[in-house]
A and B are shown apart, each in its own frame.
Chain A
Amino acid sequence: MGKWQSFLDFHKTKEGYILKEQDKPYKSPPEQDINVYKSVNKNFEKIKEFMNYPKSGDLILRWFKVVLPDRTADAFIFYFDGLSSRDNIGHFVLKPLMQMTAIMPPKCPEEEYISRQLITQNDVVPSKTFKQAIELVCFGGCGIFVDGISVCYVADVKGWEKRSLQKPITEGSVLGPQEGFTELIRMNTALIRKTIKDSNLVIENMSVGNKSKTPCALMYIKDLANDSLVKEIKKRLAQVDADYIFTTEELESFLEDSNLKLVPQILATERVDRASMELCDGNVVLMVNGSPFALVMPATLFTFMKTPDSRYMRMPYANLLQLVHYISLIISVLLPGLFIVITQYHHEMIPTDLLYALEASFEITPFSTLIELVVLEISFELLREAEIKIPNIGGPSISIVGALILGQAAVSANIVSPIIIIIVAFTAVGSLSTPNYSLGIAFRIMKFVYIFASAVAGFLGFTICLFLHTAMLCTTKSFGVRFLSPVAPRTREGFFKTAFIGRDYKKTSKPDYNNSKQDPDVDIKNESDGEDSE
């Protein structure tokens, strides 16, 4: 326990609050993996112990009596207030248990009688261990103990407050459907299920996080997805060793091939149609409860560069759109570097008229071009971050600060030259119109590297940077698929077919890299020079 600890811990002393060292040795929580007892009182005591009953105020415990054919038994239910639907518990659990026994003569043993004949809630799990029962109750179930029966019935009466279906926020679309995922996993899987009406769509339930036990759903179309891909994803999911995982973004870092690489290797989308399309291409989609994003695996650069709109628009405009995406990507990463190269090393490239204008504008600013550019780029990053943090309250004032103070005032005070503002603005627009947010960030980081390399050695530095950047992208893999897949391991599709939208009358072919089962070209592919995913 060093001196730093005392700053972090809070405990009242003369000096103020500091956290005291834990005097008692850490006591592990009681083992929950034990069977349910027959005696309801014993069970009650155990539940109180496991659920920290009087301390956790939202736990509801209710005693009542069940009239069984031959006896009247004590029983109690427990559930979390707010997590479960009170109406459902009243109507479908308590009411039948307390009233219907007289009407329904038993036709089976007591243990089954309760779940089969009495409880009218549609989903009831009879669990033999406390552990399973508690897990289900923590996820909105209602546990029922009846005296003399060593089973805990858990009725699925989930009923918490949730966000309703909303428009996707980060991936807007003009023509496509306007529904995005929500935080609730069942709703999300249902949205997918209703989009792909195929019985071969498999939605496997899993849970991640040793403590959080966050439910996940692994989705793929069984007769389409590559088996080895599904196996690999399951393997990686099983290996996730973390106590708490709540969102897909957290899970992403556990699943991706390399955390050090700048580019994302898994696509996160909040659009239902996008996730469904990717499933139909033979990809695998993973959803985590509590996160409105679905993870699509594997993903290549071209997956990131596509938007749903490019599929909904008519072919000519869709291609223009794709072209704009690529131009914006290139501008966002290369333009500042190129500007530095030209203004620092290659003045002969500038048109003479512009050169005089540039010279006149730089003549009165005090700093070097490099410093001006880097400072303005950083100030733009600050602005963007501020805008995201408080979009509604701070938005307008940030725009004023950004446009007036940083732009107008800096120019009129002769601190920066207007051309630099133009370049930064262009770069920013390029970066914002990059289709994928994570990809945009990855290339934004590279932008600074390009600026630096260009300042050091002009076109030589710029080219070497480009060379190494490409080499980095070439060797990046996403679940065994190369990041630049149809280009760098050149496959039959090639760049143009992947990046742009063809005049197709049928869309049955799947991406080469997936080697999906139903690909009509998969037979001849073995003979072509396509690259197999490993």
Chain B
Amino acid sequence: MKRRLFAAMLIAVIATSLGGCRYSHEITEMAYAVALGLDKEEDGIAVSVQFAKPLSISGGSGGESSGGSSEKGEEDGAKNKNTTVLTVKGKDIFTALTAAENNLSKEINLSHVKLLLFSQDIAQEGIADYVKQFMKSNQFSPNTYTAISLCKAEEYMKTANPSLEINPAKYYTLIFSNNDNNYMPSTTLRELYFNLSANGEGEVLPVANLSNDESNEKSKSGEDGYFAGQLSVGGENKADVSGMAILSGGKLKQVLSTKDALYYHMLTGKLREIYILIPSVKEEGEHITLRLTQDEKPKLCADELGETPKLSAKICLMGELVKCPDSDFNELGIDGLNELASRYIEGQITDFLENTQNESKADVTGFGEISKMHFSDWNDWTLYNWQDKFINSEFSVTANVNISREGLVYTG
């Protein structure tokens, strides 16, 4: 009797658990999205999802893959063989995606999304709700990169055609993690979410765009400040990421150039190695080139937190002389050059700060975080209303450039 009871229990357990097997999902049952973009439509949004084609990426059977992409139409099929972009219109992201599954044979899995792209229209309307929705879902990794697209997100994803990578996921990770790129910020979903919920602080996002062949006459050279789409880079890949967008309260306020992004990195202490041009004093049209790295962490201070807070920043940079006209070098000497570079950077940073203060009315460099220390209580801090006070604040920037090396050849 005991044995039979045991057997019955065992069968019951095995039966219920075997039923459980159907909750598992094979890898092949899933379509893994690489990037997800949001565009504005008249009545709702358009969700574009980019999928990688594993068979063509891993090179298992290359012959099939080239044929597979042709059904997406000649314009994107010709451009990118390894990915496919699917666009669905709807009122909500997830209902739209569910509808998209009918088109695909596989279930959409978002756990490998590397990039969340908001188009300019959406960003101007406000992205806070979407960000919250992404955070709520357990599918998205909080470390997903986010960006603003000045063109249509769908267009961007279709055009992005990495020439050095076959794996689009790798491309997005490399380009948006910006390990050594100071021309754009890098923002993850998580950072965006917390910034959005904090009051009085702006958000920065990298800007993506397509470089426009027709607007070549407007296009700028690398040294001027520019943002994505303005610079003409001769290459296969027309997709470009550079510059930074400033949002306040989830709404797009301002698109800043790569130059501003540089000073943003200087202020936040994320500066890598950069080259900077300083106009020559002696020779018209000539310039001095410096390679700068961060020497010490930037010190941000907030004093006299009254109606007009006095905000100060101290930036220490280490430099290497790359190019310097002889006349400047002989005239100024290293000390003079230090002085020149310091004053130049001070001016630029002050411009950047005042620009963001006036145009987008958002504190993006973290002065708010510093000011918070002076309050003992969250209520006081909220009452102080940082957003209003920041607009009235005054900046004093001290830069300290120390040219410690002159390269392999003494210029003097």
Residues of A within 8 A of B (CB): 343-345, 347-348, 350, 352-353, 355-364, 368-370, 452-453, 455-458, 461
Contact = CB atoms under 8 A, between A and B. Distances in A.
Interface stretch (B22-30, B265-273, B319-327, B349-357): B22-30
B32 interface: yes
Contacts of A461: 17, 20
Given A352-B167, A356-B167, A456-B18, A347 B58 contact: no
A345 B141 CA distance: 16
B54 A353 contact: no
Interface in B103-121: 109, 111-112, 114
Contacts of A352: 32, 34, 112, 114, 167, 169-170, 173
B20 A456 contact: yes
B351 to A, nearest CB: 41
A345 B24 CA distance: 6
- Taking each of B17, B24, B111, B112, which has the highest tally of chain A beta carbons within 10 Å of its own beta carbon? B24
Contact of B111 (A343, A348, A362, A452): A348
A369 B26 contact: yes
A344 B60 contact: no
Given A368-B26, A455-B24, A353 B169 contact: yes
Nearest to A343: B27
A347 B30 contact: yes
Given A348-B112, A360-B55, A364-B60, A353 B167 contact: yes
A353 B25 contact: no
Given A347-B30, A360-B58, A461-B20, 7 more contacts: A344-B24, A347-B25, A347-B32, A347-B111, A352-B114, A361-B60, A363-B60
A452 to B, nearest CB: 8
Nearest to B20: A456
A356 to B, nearest CB: 4
Interface in B86-140: 109, 111-112, 114, 139
B318 interface: no
Contact of B54 (A348, A360, A452): A360
B21 interface: yes
A507 B54 CA distance: 59
27 contacts: A343-B26, A344-B25, A345-B24, A347-B25, A347-B111, A347-B112, A350-B27, A352-B112, A352-B114, A352-B167, A352-B169, A353-B170, A355-B27, A356-B58, A357-B54, A358-B27, A359-B32, A360-B60, A361-B60, A362-B28, A369-B26, A452-B17, A453-B17, A455-B20, A455-B21, A456-B20, A456-B21
A33 B282 CA distance: 127
Contacts of A368: 26
A62 B52 CA distance: 93
Contacts of B167: 352-353, 356
B57 interface: yes
Given A347-B111, A356-B57, A356-B167, A362 B26 contact: yes
Nearest to B52: A356
A287 B169 CA distance: 63
A530 to B, nearest CB: 37
Contacts of A359: 27-28, 30, 32, 54-55, 58
Contacts of B170: 352-353
B393 to A, nearest CB: 43
B140 to A, nearest CB: 10
Contacts of A355: 27, 32, 54, 112
A279 B173 CA distance: 60
A425 B24 CA distance: 24
B60 A458 contact: no
Nearest to A341: B24
A214 to B, nearest CB: 34
A347 B23 contact: no
Contact of A370 (B21, B23, B55): B21
A357 B25 contact: no
Contact of A357 (B58, B111, B139): B58
Contact of A457 (B23, B169, B173): B23
Interface in B1-59: 17-18, 20-21, 23-28, 30, 32, 34, 52, 54-55, 57-58
Contacts of B141: 348
A350 B141 CA distance: 13
Nearest to B58: A360
Nearest to A363: B28
Contacts of B23: 457-458
A347 B54 contact: no
A414 to B, nearest CB: 10
B60 A456 contact: no
A343 to B, nearest CB: 6
Nearest to B18: A456
Contacts of B28: 359, 362-363
Nearest to B167: A353
Contacts of A350: 27
A343 B28 CA distance: 10
- Taking each of A350, A352, A358, A368, which has the highest tally of chain B beta carbons within 10 Å of its own beta carbon? A352
Contacts of B18: 456
A228 to B, nearest CB: 33
Contacts of A362: 26-28
A352 B109 CA distance: 12
A343 B25 CA distance: 8
B323 to A, nearest CB: 40
A360 B58 CA distance: 7
Contacts of B54: 355-357, 359-360, 363
A442 to B, nearest CB: 20
A466 to B, nearest CB: 16
Report the 5 A-B pairs with minimum CB-CB distance, sorted nearest first: A348-B111, A344-B24, A359-B54, A360-B58, A356-B54
A360 B56 CA distance: 8
Contacts of A344: 24-26
B25 A345 contact: yes
A458 B24 contact: yes
Contacts of A363: 28, 54-55, 60
A356 B32 CA distance: 9
A355 B109 CA distance: 12
A361 B169 CA distance: 18
Nearest to A346: B111
A458 B25 CA distance: 10
Contacts of A358: 27
Contacts of A453: 17
A51 to B, nearest CB: 46
A246 B28 CA distance: 55
A96 to B, nearest CB: 66
Contacts of B173: 352
- Taking each of B20, B58, B167, B173, which has the highest tally of chain A beta carbons within 10 Å of its own beta carbon? B58
Given A353-B170, A363-B28, A370-B21, A347 B109 contact: yes
Contacts of B17: 452-453, 456-457, 461
A364 B141 CA distance: 29
A81 B58 CA distance: 73
Nearest to A352: B169
A452 B23 CA distance: 13
A344 to B, nearest CB: 4
A157 B36 CA distance: 90
Contacts of B111: 347-348
B176 to A, nearest CB: 14
Nearest to A356: B54
A330 to B, nearest CB: 23
